[in-house]
Structure 1
Amino acid sequence: MAPPAAIEVLATSDTQGIVIPDALTVNGVSARRAKAGKLNGGTAAFTSSDFFKHPSSGKPKAKRWDNYLSLESKSRMPSSLKGAAKYLGKPGLISLGGGLPCAENFPIEELTIKVPSPPGFSEEETSKTGTTVTTGKYDVSNGSGAYDLSIALNYGLGVGSAQMIRFVTEHTEIVCNPPYEDWQCALSVGSTSSLEQAYRIFCERGDYVISEEYTFASAVETALPLGIKFVGVQVDSEGLLPNLIDEILTNWDATARKARKPRVLYTVPSGQNPTGATQGTARRQAIYKVAQKHDLYIFEDEPYYFLQMQPYTGPNSPPVPAPKTNEEFLKALIPTYLSMDTDGRVMRMDSFSKVIAPGTRVGWVTASEQIIERFVRHNECSNQNPSGISQLVLYKLLDETWGHHGYLQWLIHLRLEYTRRRDALLEACEKFLPKDIVSWNPPAAGMFLWMKLNHKLHPSQSTNKPLTIAEMEDQVFLAAVGNGVLISRGSWFTAEREGFEAHELFFRATFAAATEEKMAEAIYRFGDAVRACFGVSNGGGDVEA
C-alpha cells in the first residue's frame, strides 16, 4: 500500500498554482473598519460577509454545485417577510410591514457581564482584574454602542446579526484566507445544526456519506432519520487514509449498494471525535486531491481546530515553548481545508461551543456564495438565527472588549490549558494502565484519548467459548462503571450502523471535564477494571503515590 500522503491521483486543478493575496491581519482590522464607515447593524439589518471581507482581489470564483443540490434545497424560496428587511435602512421609513415587536415591550433594560481582561484569563484573575461590560436597551440610538438589547431581543435575519457576521468574517479571513473570491459566512445554532442543514442541502434519501470508520455519533444519528447512511474509511494516527477513499469511490458499485456514488465527505480533521487523530498538512492536501478527482464536496467540521496543543514530549520531559505572539500561534496551526480550497468545494463548520461555551449555541459556516444562500434560505424557515442574547454577549466579549488580538490570546490560553490536561491524563495512563493490553496515540488536538485494548489477550480467547468483541466491550464497560468511572464505548461511534462487526476493541476518554486529580483516579479505576476482565494482577500502583 502506498503511503497515504503520496497517493497518485489526478486533481482537476492545481491547489499550489494560485497566488493567494495576503490574509487580513489582526492589526489590519481597524483600518479596514475605518475605511468601511459606520456599521449598519440595526434591527433585522440586511448584512453579508461581502460587506466586511477584502474587496475583489483577483481570486477565482467558486465552482457551481447546481447538480449537487437536493430537491428540498432547490425548492426553498426566499422568505417574503425576511426579504423585506432590506428596506428597513431607508431613512425616514415607517414600517408597518414585518411583525417586529416594539422594544419598549421587552422586559430587559440592561445586561451586565464580567469577562477576563487579556492576558489574565484565570477565574482568580478575572475576579480581581476582569472587565465589567454593560449593554442597555437603546445604546445604538444613544450613540454609546454598536449593538444593544433593542436589536438583540428582536427578530433577526437568517444570516445572523451584522455585528457578529463582521467579526466571524474577519476572523475567517485572518485564519483561513479562502483562495477563491465569492466565499461568505452565515451564523448557525452550533455545528450539529449546521451539519443537519448541510445534509439537507446536498443529500437525498438513500445517499451515502463518506467519513472516518469511527466518527462523531451525532453526525451519524442526525443523518439516519434523513435516510442517509455512512461509509466508514479506515484511519491511522493522522486520520483518514486518502488512498482508501479513492479505492472506495473508484470501485463503487451503485447496483450492489442500491445508491449512487457518494458526493459528500464528512470529516473532523483536528482532534477527531472519537479517535483524537489530527490530519497533517500533507494528509489534508492528499484528501483534497482525492475530492477533486471524484468531485466530492467536503464538510469540514472543526469544533476542535483551536484546541491544537503543544507537541507531546512524554512524561518527565521539558515542555515545548508556547507561542509568544498571535502570529506565532497562527503559524503553528495546521492549514484548514478552507485555506486550500481553490474550487469552493468545502463547507467549513466553526463553533464557539468548545472555545467559549456550549450553551451559547452560536457557530458559523463558511462556503461559497451559492451554498451560503441555500443555507440562509433553510435558516429562514427553521431556526431563523441563533439567540440574540447569545450573539450580543459574544459581541460584547469578542469584538467590543477583546477584539481579534484578545480573542487569539484567549485561544493561546486554551491551547496551554488543554496541553496541561492532556499531559495529566497521559501521565495517569502511563502509570495505571496495563500497557501490554491498552495502547494509545497521544492526541495533538481536541479533548479525547482513543484507547485500544488487545482483545486477543482476553482469557476467553483460549476457551471453547471465546467472547465476541462486543461482549468484551460490554464486560469492560460495566466493570468500569462498577468501579465508579464512565468511559465511552468505541461502538457508540461506528459510522456504519447496519451489520457492523467490530474487529478491534476501543474505548474513548475525555480530558476536558474532570480535574487532574479526578482524571488520575478515573484512569486508576479503569485500569483496575481492565485487569479484572483480562485476568491479570493489579500492578498499577497507588493512585495516591
Structure 2
Amino acid sequence: MAPPSAIDIVHVADNMDTVIPGPLTVKGVPARRAKSGKFVGGTAALGDSDFFKGPDTGKPKAKRWDHYLSVESKSRQPSSLKGAAKYLNTPGLISLGGGLPCSEYFPIEELTLKVPSPPHFSEKQTKQSGTIVKAGKYDISEGKSAYDLSVALNYGMGTGSPQLIRWVTEHTEIVNNPPYADWQCALTVGTSSALEQAYRMFCERGDYVLSEEYTFSSAVETALPLGIKFLGIKMDSEGLLPESMDDILSNWDEKARGARKPHVLYTVPTGQNPSGATQGVARRQAIYLVAQKHDIYILEDEPYYFLQMQPHTGPDTPDVPPPATNDAFLNALMPTYVSMDIDGRVMRMDSFSKVVAPGSRVGWITASEQIVERFVRHNESSNQNPSGISQMVLFKLLDESWGHDGYLQWLRNLRLEYTRRRDIIIAACEKHLPQEIVSWNPPAAGMFLWLKLNWQLHPAASSKSISEIEEELFLSAVGQGVLISRGSWFTAERSNFIPHDMFFRATFAAATEEKMTEAIERFGVAVRSCFGLE
C-alpha cells in the first residue's frame, strides 16, 4: 500500500493540537453515576447521550452536513406527540395527551432470566451457577430497579430508552472516546435498519455509494430499490485500498458516470463481510485522510468489531497469550473510525447481533448531534425504537447483572471462542482442500473465511466463463452436502462487473467443530471433482 503521503492528500483539519480528555474508564462509571444523582426514566422518558457523557473540555464541535442531507431528511419535522412527552415528568401532571395504554392492561407481570455470572460463561457453568434476575411491572415505583415492565412495554422515544442509552453512551466513551464534543448515541433496530435510514438521510436516487469491491450483500440489496448504486473499491488482504478510493474520486466524470461525485463511503473495517479482512491502523488513517480530502461521509459498520481474535500462529508455533485484563483487551483492539474522527464525518453502527443475540434486534449509532437528530426524526415516523422487551433483557444483562466490567469479560471470552473456531476451520482447510486450487488468509476478526480459487486451472477454463465454473462448483458442493456462499453474491457492483477472481465464503460461527471439519472435507471433494483431481 502506498503511504498516506503518496496519495496526494491535503489535510483539512485545523484542530489536530486539541487536547482530548481521556476516555471514561470502567471503574469510573459508578462514580459518575453516583455524582449525577438519582436516575429518572419513566414512561416515554427522553434518552439523550448528553445526560450521560463526561465533560468535553477542549473538544471541538463536529462539522455540519447540511450540504449532504437528502431532501427527505431535511423535510422531516419533529413528532408533535413525541415532543409532548417531555412534559410527562411534570409533578402532578395528569396526562390525557398521548395514546399510552394503561400498564394494568399489559398481561406480563414479571420476566425471569438466568444469565452467566462472569467469568463463568459456558452453558454448563450458567446452568450450575448462573444468576437469576427478575423484571417486575412496577420495579421503579417499588424502588427495586431503574427500569420496569410498565415502562418497557409502553411506547418509547425515538432515541430508545434512557436506561439503555446511558449504558451504550458509557460503553462508547470507554471504547471510542470520540474526539469531538457534540457526539450522541441513538438505539437502532439492528444495523440493516440503521443503514437503510442512513441511505435515505444522505442519498438521492441516482447517487453512488462507495464500498469495498466485495461487500455485505444486504447493504447493496437495500440500496438498489432506493435508486442508489454501489461502486466497488479494490481490496487487498487488509481490505479497502485508499489509493484506489482516491483515484476514483479524483478522476470522477459526472457526465460519463451519469451521477454526481460520491460523498458516502460504506465500509466494514473489522472482519469484513465477506472477505474477513481487517484494516490495520495505518490503513484506517489513510482512508480517513482520503475522506477528508474529498469530503466523504463514512458509514462505519462494525458488527464484528469485538470478534477480533488472537494472531493465527499455526500448529508449530507457540500461541500468543491472550489479553489478561479488560484494559489489555481494549488496548489490543484496532482503533475505530469514530475514535479518530476529528470532523464528525463518521456514523458508527454497533450491534448486539454478533456478540449477544441477533434476535434482540437492538443496536445503536454514534454520530454528531446533527446527524443523530435527523436519524431520530426518521425513527419517530417509522420503527420508533427497538422492542421494549429486548431493551429490558439487555438492560438486566448488561447494566444490572454484568456491568461494563462483566461485559468486557464476556467479549474476552468470545475472542478466545472465535479464535478456536477459526483455527479449527483453517486446520480443516489445510488438511482437506487442494492448495494448488484453493488459497486463503487467516482472518484476524469476524466469522468468515474467504477462499480464493484458481479457476483458470479448471479443465474447461478456456470454454466456460468464471460464472459458469462458480455455479458448477457451488452445485457440486450442495450435491456433496455442504452449503457455502458464492463470492459473486457479494459484489458491490451488480451490473457491468466482470470478475477476475473466484471466491467462496465459509463461516466458522455456527456449526460444531466436527460438522465444520466435515463440511470442509465435503467441499474439498467437490473441488477435486470439478477440477478433475480425483
Q: TM bucket by the smaller chain? A: over 0.9
2:96 aligns to what?
96
Please give the alpha-carbon distance, in whole angstroms, between the structure 1 residues aligned to 2:5 and 2:422. 27
Asked whether the equivalents of residues 189 and 386 of structure 2 are also in contact (C-alpha less than 8 Å), the reply is: yes
After superposition, residues 3-18 of structure 1 pair within 5 angstroms as 3=3, 7-13=7-13, 16-18=16-18
2:426 aligns to what?
426
Asked whether the equivalents of residues 15 and 340 of structure 1 are also in contact (C-alpha less than 8 Å), the reply is: no
Please give the alpha-carbon distance, in whole angstroms, between the structure 2 residues aligned to 1:17 and 1:283. 22
CA drift of 1:455 comes to 1.1
2:526 aligns to what?
529
Please give the alpha-carbon distance, in whole angstroms, between the structure 1 residues aligned to 2:3 and 2:436. 28
Q: 1:207 and 1:65, CA in 2 relative to 1: closer, same or farther beyond 3 A?
A: same
Does 2:498 match 1:501? yes
CA drift of 1:316 comes to 3.9
What TM-score comes out, normalization by structure 1 length?
Answer: 0.97
Asked whether the equivalents of residues 61 and 181 of structure 1 are also in contact (C-alpha less than 8 Å), the reply is: yes
Q: Secondary structure at 1:334's aligned position in 2?
A: coil
What letter is aligned with 2:80? S
CA drift of 1:6 comes to 5.3
Gaps of 5+ in 1: 538-545
What letter is aligned with 1:491? S
Does 2:45 match 1:48? no
Asked whether the equivalents of residues 52 and 170 of structure 1 are also in contact (C-alpha less than 8 Å), the reply is: yes
What letter is aligned with 1:476? L
Does 2:486 match 1:489? yes
Please give the alpha-carbon distance, in whole angstroms, between the structure 2 residues aligned to 1:140 and 1:519. 47
Return 304-313 or 17-26, whichever deviates more: 17-26
2:472 aligns to what?
475
2:285 aligns to what?
285
1:393 aligns to what?
393
2:329 aligns to what?
329
Asked whether the equivalents of residues 7 and 246 of structure 2 are also in contact (C-alpha less than 8 Å), the reply is: no
1:540 aligns to what?
none
Please give the alpha-carbon distance, in whole angstroms, between the structure 2 residues aligned to 1:196 and 1:102. 33
1:543 aligns to what?
none
What letter is aligned with 1:531? R
Q: Secondary structure at 2:67's aligned position in 1?
A: helix
1:31 aligns to what?
31
Asked whether the equivalents of residues 50 and 184 of structure 2 are also in contact (C-alpha less than 8 Å), the reply is: yes
What TM-score comes out, normalization by structure 2 length?
Answer: 0.99
Please give the alpha-carbon distance, in whole angstroms, between the structure 2 residues aligned to 1:369 and 1:108. 36
After superposition, residues 438-477 of structure 1 pair within 5 angstroms as 438-461=438-461, 466-477=463-474
What letter is aligned with 2:529? A
1:116 aligns to what?
116
Please give the alpha-carbon distance, in whole angstroms, between the structure 1 residues aligned to 2:11 and 2:324. 38
1:211 aligns to what?
211
Please give the alpha-carbon distance, in whole angstroms, between the structure 2 residues aligned to 1:517 and 1:252. 50
1:517 aligns to what?
514
Asked whether the equivalents of residues 448 and 511 of structure 1 are also in contact (C-alpha less than 8 Å), the reply is: yes
Please give the alpha-carbon distance, in whole angstroms, between the structure 2 residues aligned to 1:393 and 1:222. 29
Please give the alpha-carbon distance, in whole angstroms, between the structure 2 residues aligned to 1:316 and 1:518. 25
Please give the alpha-carbon distance, in whole angstroms, between the structure 1 residues aligned to 2:19 and 2:213. 36
Asked whether the equivalents of residues 448 and 506 of structure 2 are also in contact (C-alpha less than 8 Å), the reply is: yes
Asked whether the equivalents of residues 180 and 344 of structure 1 are also in contact (C-alpha less than 8 Å), the reply is: yes
Asked whether the equivalents of residues 3 and 286 of structure 2 are also in contact (C-alpha less than 8 Å), the reply is: no
1:59 aligns to what?
59
Q: Secondary structure at 1:178's aligned position in 2?
A: coil
CA drift of 1:19 comes to 2.4
1:390-441 superposed Cα distances (whole Å, 9 cap, x missing partner): 0000000000000000000000000000000000000000100000100000
Does 2:198 match 1:201? no
Asked whether the equivalents of residues 5 and 283 of structure 1 are also in contact (C-alpha less than 8 Å), the reply is: no
Please give the alpha-carbon distance, in whole angstroms, between the structure 1 residues aligned to 2:291 and 2:498. 28
Asked whether the equivalents of residues 41 and 147 of structure 1 are also in contact (C-alpha less than 8 Å), the reply is: yes
What letter is aligned with 2:374? R
2:308 aligns to what?
308
CA drift of 1:317 comes to 2.9
1:125-160 superposed Cα distances (whole Å, 9 cap, x missing partner): 000110000110000000111100000000000000
1:16-71 superposed Cα distances (whole Å, 9 cap, x missing partner): 53321100000000010011111121000012000000123220000000111000
What letter is aligned with 1:204? E
After superposition, residues 125-524 of structure 1 pair within 5 angstroms as 125-461=125-461, 466-524=463-521
Please give the alpha-carbon distance, in whole angstroms, between the structure 2 residues aligned to 1:153 and 1:437. 55
Asked whether the equivalents of residues 6 and 286 of structure 1 are also in contact (C-alpha less than 8 Å), the reply is: no
Q: 1:272 and 1:141, CA in 2 relative to 1: closer, same or farther beyond 3 A?
A: same
Asked whether the equivalents of residues 5 and 282 of structure 1 are also in contact (C-alpha less than 8 Å), the reply is: no
Q: How many residues align?
A: 534
Please give the alpha-carbon distance, in whole angstroms, between the structure 1 residues aligned to 2:36 and 2:210. 42
Please give the alpha-carbon distance, in whole angstroms, between the structure 1 residues aligned to 2:247 and 2:303. 29
Asked whether the equivalents of residues 18 and 58 of structure 2 are also in contact (C-alpha less than 8 Å), the reply is: no
CA drift of 1:7 comes to 3.2
Q: 1:15 and 1:526, CA in 2 relative to 1: closer, same or farther beyond 3 A?
A: farther
1:433-485 superposed Cα distances (whole Å, 9 cap, x missing partner): 00010000000000000000001111113x5xx21000010000000000000
What letter is aligned with 1:319? D
Asked whether the equivalents of residues 15 and 341 of structure 1 are also in contact (C-alpha less than 8 Å), the reply is: no
Q: Percent identity?
A: 74
CA drift of 1:318 comes to 2.4
Please give the alpha-carbon distance, in whole angstroms, between the structure 2 residues aligned to 1:330 and 1:295. 30
Asked whether the equivalents of residues 43 and 151 of structure 2 are also in contact (C-alpha less than 8 Å), the reply is: yes
Q: 1:455 and 1:493, CA in 2 relative to 1: closer, same or farther beyond 3 A?
A: same
Asked whether the equivalents of residues 266 and 299 of structure 1 are also in contact (C-alpha less than 8 Å), the reply is: yes
CA drift of 1:5 comes to 8.2
Q: CA RMSD in A?
A: 1.1
Please give the alpha-carbon distance, in whole angstroms, between the structure 1 residues aligned to 2:6 and 2:257. 29
Asked whether the equivalents of residues 5 and 242 of structure 1 are also in contact (C-alpha less than 8 Å), the reply is: no
Asked whether the equivalents of residues 4 and 241 of structure 1 are also in contact (C-alpha less than 8 Å), the reply is: no
Q: Secondary structure at 2:533's aligned position in 1?
A: coil
What letter is aligned with 2:153? L
CA drift of 1:14 comes to 6.1
Please give the alpha-carbon distance, in whole angstroms, between the structure 1 residues aligned to 2:157 and 2:101. 15
Asked whether the equivalents of residues 452 and 506 of structure 1 are also in contact (C-alpha less than 8 Å), the reply is: yes
What letter is aligned with 2:468? E
Q: Secondary structure at 1:38's aligned position in 2?
A: coil
1:542 aligns to what?
none
